[in-house]
Amino acid sequence: MKTICAPLQQKWIRLCGALVACSLTTGIVSAQSPAPRIAAEITNSEMTAIHGSQHPLALPQNDAGRMAGNTPLSGISIYFSRTAAQQADLESLIAAQQDPSSSSYHKWLTPDQFAARFGMAQSDIDKVQSWLQQQGFAVASVARSRNMIRFSGTVSQVESAFSTQMHYYATDGTKHFAPSTALSVPAAIAPAVLGIRNLDDFRPKPQHITPRAGFTSGQSHNVFFAPGDIATVYDVKPLLSASNNGAGQTIAIAGQSSIQVSDIEAFQSAAGLTKKDPSLVLVPGTGDPTVFSGDEGESDLDVEWAGALATGANIAFVYTGSDANFGVFDSIQYAVDELIAPIISLSYDSCEGVLTQSQVNTLEAIFSQAATQGQTVVVASGDQGSTACFVENPPKTGDPTLAVQEALSVNYPASSAYVTGMGGTEITAANSVSTNTTYWSGGTSSTDTLTSALTYIPEVAWNDDSSQNGLSASGGGASVYVARPSWQTGVPGIASGSNRLVPDISLYSSPNQPGYLYCTSDQANWNTTTAPVQQASCNSGFRDSATQDLTVAGGTSFAAPIFAGMIAIINQKAGYTSGQGLINPTLYKLAANSANYASGTGAFHDITTGNNFCTAGSTYCASNGATLGFSATTGYDEVTGLGSVDLNNLATAWPANTGTNAALIGTTTTVTPANAAPLVNVADTFTITVASTTGTTVPTGTVTLQIDGGTNCGGISGATCNGTTVAAQTLSANGTITYSATFATTGTHQVLAQYSGDSTHVASTGVGSVTIAAVSSGKGTFTLAATGVTVAQGSSANSTITITPAGGYTGTVLLTFSTSNDTALANLCYQFSNTLSSGSGSVTVGGTAAVTTQMTLDANASDCSSAIGGLKKGMHSFRALRSGGAISRGPAPKPAPNRLPAEAAFAGLLLAGFMGRYARKFRSAAWVIALAAAGLAMSACGSSSTNTTNVPNPAKGNYTITLTGQDSLTTTNKATTTFSLTIN
């Protein structure tokens, strides 16, 4: 079966790819549209397995039973590959964007430009969506990049569509679900499918370590890192003094739990920082904001420390909601696809030993897109040393996964070729002020000293492994999935080989030497088995007022957001208002110059002592653990990478922006609701303001809005798009626009505003959100009114219903009705704008404004009788509504003749046509079907055009409809009204 194109077409594709790659050297960035790739009909008759799509931990020995077929699964995502020509074009583009001699230098793509160049053809997207819907799935969205479709369905639908079974698995002391076999897709689309995600709940884990509870530095004079200390030891203060604080930059923090902004404010207050709340960006379609223990603390420290140094930067916290099928990688995908920020920090990983090439490929597609859009991604390398696959509940002896956990492995996506991986160091100087006054000051009394570090404190590779506390060391090594990037060269110490080496840069990460202060409400970060449970965090400066405890932790989770903040400062100083994209080529080029390692003036601190060997003993390590890993050496090593940084020297050595966008002025886009907690169905006004970071100019141009994720469903009929996309609107003279939105449901709702930029200002994105609480029901009263209806037999018409609250009423009104002649109207059917399964209408009322809805009355019996093969879609039978009451019902209608309607006959003709068109071997059968269909069509055409049965339409006449509205919670709170129904 030919699935993509003929050999000749393939040659033209390769030729085009080569021409595009060559054009990049002359600065030509074309906007070609992808050619369609799916030529054959998509059917399930011929399936192709996706190599590497079975999760490595979905093993028979871990099987805990099959999932129920009706179990819902949401967030399922099918990712599409690029053609060979597209991939070659992409790699050439990224290289050119980082080459100052190229005319494409720092010419970033927008998400829409990326889609037009590297996404799937819209016709292919449409075909795959149609196939998904034929399998019973509900399509939720299409990625803006046109390389992913997200959908939902049941376990049974998944098993049928992808030729697998969904099972539960018991691993790491917890229960997970995953497909029991490799997934298969129709052969027609297999060459274009990169992988399918979110069919398991093996979520990536945060990379931070909490030490023992109960630290009391005021009494013991122990020292811990506060923001001022890091600004001192890594030489950030000169930059801050020169107003280089990341102003105009935005850092996106990726998470998979909601946070409490009060924790962020407590940290800023304790650290002496100006209060600056993060923007909370909930990934649309992932559920309601929900706190997940363990993940909340990770997100708290990431948000807190990203803004601790880059105090002028904006922090956007992008996270997923209550639906556990989603996770932090979905946050990354959204931050990239919507270009939320030019810098992204990620403190989550999965070890490569429990990933497949297919899983890595889908994420590489996301991170490579980020690079083309000017987004710099910083990722923690992990905290388990050289054996990244270790878990807290290791498998039993003899379990094959034990070998994976004790083997050399690095974490992904720290090992991605498109991110900067952050390793960890620690200090050797004593952690007590009383024993080391060379590096620390203060602490001689019970009064805490907020900033006690005096100067740079020498570092060694972080390795706190112990048989008591387990693995606690800098992640590093060689990837088994990612090839060595061309830029990872030129520095002494880089090992020979063809695989990507991790990490790139390191910063202090040890939880004990000395550990970082942070603030969190996540009690999972306080409980240990070796010390008392901390009662609270940061309710008295950095302390718990009751116990005087400090909240302290470590891990490369701190290194990642801190370095993201450092990049924001460099971007501001060097004039990169629209971001730098992948910074690794610059890092390695600077490190190749030995002068940048000079003491006192160098950009890097070379870490030459220590290792990340597995030294915690037999419970955690293989028998050769004491030598299983890597040692710090001169230059580059797989423990600390290029070393740590002197930020002032690094920013001074960093090349200034010489690209065409160097003169552009940075902007910030803010979205401010008039009411942060509006009521259901009550309009709220959002003010969108685009301001320049210099404050001396006013941006012009347009802003596009996405309400609750927008309507990116690709135009397929039946796709479940719940959001709204507002076309580009022109900014006013003061750089603002306003938008009025009304939300029909409770929960969190978002307005995402994307400023397009102009000739002097860069583009930017802002998000504003509101939360509609569930309203109390039953207070006050309401009245009903309805318009009369005149309808012809065989037709339908609408009555407009108005519900007016009084006395402060808010709640949900359920609507039902009765008639003055139930017998004559037995074959009437109806539909409210929001009809519940019971047949009653449902209207939510909030505030003081009247709310309107509609009721459709259908006087066509063929739409309304189950005896004719079912109700018209969306309609409800009046007979069924009244079946429980004591009313006099007319005789049941006579059965319809045993024949197919004209629609079925016409469908047969269409089927015959399609069979004859697409398969020669079906043409004889197609003629038989066509003749049979023609006969059916002739017999069907002899019926009435308005009623194809012997069931009579509702009788002509004048009727009175009595409408009743009842509060959903208080049954005694109700109102009635009447209106006339005339059938003629």
What are 775-788's pLDDT values in tens digits?
555 568 889 999 99
Q: What is the pLDDT of residue 232?
A: 97
Q: What is the pLDDT of residue 533?
A: 58
What is the band of 849 on the pLDDT scale with cuts at 50, 70, 90? confident
* The pLDDT of residue 197 is above 70: yes
447-451, 836-840, 868-872, 883-887: segment of lowest average pLDDT: 883-887
* Average pLDDT for 510-516: 90
In contact, 819 and 958? CB cutoff 8 Å: no
Q: What is the pLDDT of residue 241?
A: 97
Distance of CA 465 to the CA centre of its chain: 34
Looking at per-residue pLDDT, the higher value among 730 and 883 belongs to 730
Q: Give whole-number Cα distances, 641 to 96, 496, 497, 532, in Å.
A: 25, 15, 16, 37
Q: What is the pLDDT of residue 17?
A: 38
Looking at per-residue pLDDT, the higher value among 870 and 224 belongs to 224
810: Cβ contacts below 8 Å, ≥ 6 apart: 679, 775, 776, 777, 779, 780, 845, 846, 847
Q: 852 pairs with which residues across the strands?
A: 802
Q: What is the pLDDT of residue 673?
A: 95
What is the band of 902 on the pLDDT scale with cuts at 50, 70, 90? very low
**Maximum average pLDDT range among 291-295, 403-407, 680-684:** 291-295
In contact, 657 and 574? CB cutoff 8 Å: yes
* Average pLDDT for 388-413: 74
Tell me how far apart the alpha carbons of residues 260 and 675 are, in angstroms, rounded to a whole number: 20
In contact, 842 and 814? CB cutoff 8 Å: yes
What is the band of 905 on the pLDDT scale with cuts at 50, 70, 90? very low
Tell me how far apart the alpha carbons of residues 228 and 236 are, in angstroms, rounded to a whole number: 9
Q: What is the pLDDT of residue 208?
A: 67
What are 352-365's pLDDT values in tens digits?
988 888 889 999 99
* Average pLDDT for 15-42: 58
In contact, 811 and 777? CB cutoff 8 Å: yes
Q: Give whole-number Cα distances, 509 to 32, 254, 463, 512, 706, in Å.
A: 46, 19, 10, 9, 39
Q: What is the pLDDT of residue 220?
A: 60
Q: 741 pairs with which residues across the strands?
A: 684
Q: Considering only CA atoms, which of 291, 281, 305 is closest in space to residue 260?
A: 291
Q: What is the pLDDT of residue 216?
A: 39
What is the band of 638 on the pLDDT scale with cuts at 50, 70, 90? very high
Q: What is the pLDDT of residue 65?
A: 94
Q: What is the pLDDT of residue 356?
A: 84
Q: Are strands 957-967 and 851-858 parallel, antiparallel or unpaired?
A: unpaired
Q: Considering only CA atoms, which of 373, 377, 374, 376 is closest in space to residue 413?
A: 377
Q: Considering only CA atoms, which of 932, 931, 902, 927 is closest in space to residue 915?
A: 927
What is the band of 932 on the pLDDT scale with cuts at 50, 70, 90? very low
* Average pLDDT for 198-224: 68
Cis peptide before 100 (omega within 30 of 0): no
Q: What is the pLDDT of residue 622?
A: 86
pTM of the model: 0.77
What are 639-664's pLDDT values in tens digits?
999 999 999 999 999 999 987 788 88
* The pLDDT of residue 891 is above 70: no
The first and second tokens of residue 587, run together, are 């890092």
539: Cβ contacts below 8 Å, ≥ 6 apart: 266, 545
Q: What is the pLDDT of residue 25?
A: 35
Looking at per-residue pLDDT, the higher value among 919 and 262 belongs to 262
What are 515-548's pLDDT values in tens digits?
999 999 987 765 554 455 567 889 999 988 888 8
Q: What is the pLDDT of residue 652?
A: 97
Q: What is the pLDDT of residue 659?
A: 78
What is the band of 324 on the pLDDT scale with cuts at 50, 70, 90? confident
CA angle 489, 492, 495 (to 5 degrees): 65
Q: Give whole-number Cα distances, 5 to 2, 34, 898, in Å.
A: 7, 13, 47
Cis peptide before 458 (omega within 30 of 0): no
Q: What is the pLDDT of residue 813?
A: 87
What are 467-478's pLDDT values in tens digits?
877 899 999 999
Q: What is the pLDDT of residue 745?
A: 82
Q: What is the pLDDT of residue 887?
A: 25
In 552-701, beta strands by DSSP E: 552-553, 604-605, 644-645, 667-673, 684-692
Q: In sequence order, what DSSP letters do the residues of 854-889 get, joined into one string?
A: EEEEE--HHHH-GGGTSPPTT-EEHHHHHTTSS--P
41-45, 375-379, 874-878: segment of lowest average pLDDT: 874-878
Q: What is the pLDDT of residue 43?
A: 94
Q: Please count the other Cβ atoms lying within 10 Å of the Cβ belonging to residue 63.
A: 13
Tell me how far apart the alpha carbons of residues 746 and 811 are, in angstroms, rounded to a whole number: 11
* The pLDDT of residue 437 is above 90: no
* The pLDDT of residue 348 is above 80: yes
17-31, 173-187, 617-631: segment of lowest average pLDDT: 17-31
pLDDT, averaged across the chain: 83
The first and second tokens of residue 656, run together, are 């200034």
Q: What is the pLDDT of residue 6?
A: 33
* The pLDDT of residue 10 is above 50: no
Q: Assign residue 52 a region: left if phi > 0, alpha if psi is -120 to 50, beta otherwise? A: left
% of the chain surpassing 90 pLDDT: 56
Q: What is the pLDDT of residue 225?
A: 92
* The pLDDT of residue 448 is above 90: no
What are 101-124's pLDDT values in tens digits?
999 999 999 999 999 999 999 999
* The pLDDT of residue 283 is above 70: yes
* Secondary structure (3-state) at 443: coil
Q: What is the pLDDT of residue 227?
A: 96
**Lookup result for tokens 């219903």:** 801
In contact, 126 and 718? CB cutoff 8 Å: no
Looking at per-residue pLDDT, the higher value among 204 and 964 belongs to 964
Tell me how far apart the alpha carbons of residues 600 and 865 are, in angstroms, rounded to a whole number: 87
What are 34-63's pLDDT values in tens digits?
899 999 999 999 999 998 888 888 888 889
Q: What is the pLDDT of residue 526?
A: 55
% of the chain surpassing 70 pLDDT: 81
Q: What is the pLDDT of residue 156?
A: 97
What is the band of 721 on the pLDDT scale with cuts at 50, 70, 90? low
Q: What is the pLDDT of residue 837?
A: 62
* The pLDDT of residue 303 is above 80: yes
Tell me how far apart the alpha carbons of residues 646 and 98 are, in angstroms, rounded to a whole number: 23
Q: Give whole-number Cα distances, 85 to 20, 372, 418, in Å.
A: 9, 16, 19
* The pLDDT of residue 456 is above 90: yes
396-405, 782-791, 973-982: segment of lowest average pLDDT: 396-405
Tell me how far apart the alpha carbons of residues 18 and 105 are, in angstroms, rounded to a whole number: 19
What is the band of 799 on the pLDDT scale with cuts at 50, 70, 90? very high
Looking at per-residue pLDDT, the higher value among 432 and 166 belongs to 166
The first and second tokens of residue 392, run together, are 């807290």
**Maximum average pLDDT range among 67-81, 540-554, 715-729:** 67-81
Q: Please count the other Cβ atoms lying within 10 Å of the Cβ belonging to residue 154.
A: 18
- Look up residue 485 and give its amino acid: P
Distance of CA 198 to the CA centre of its chain: 11
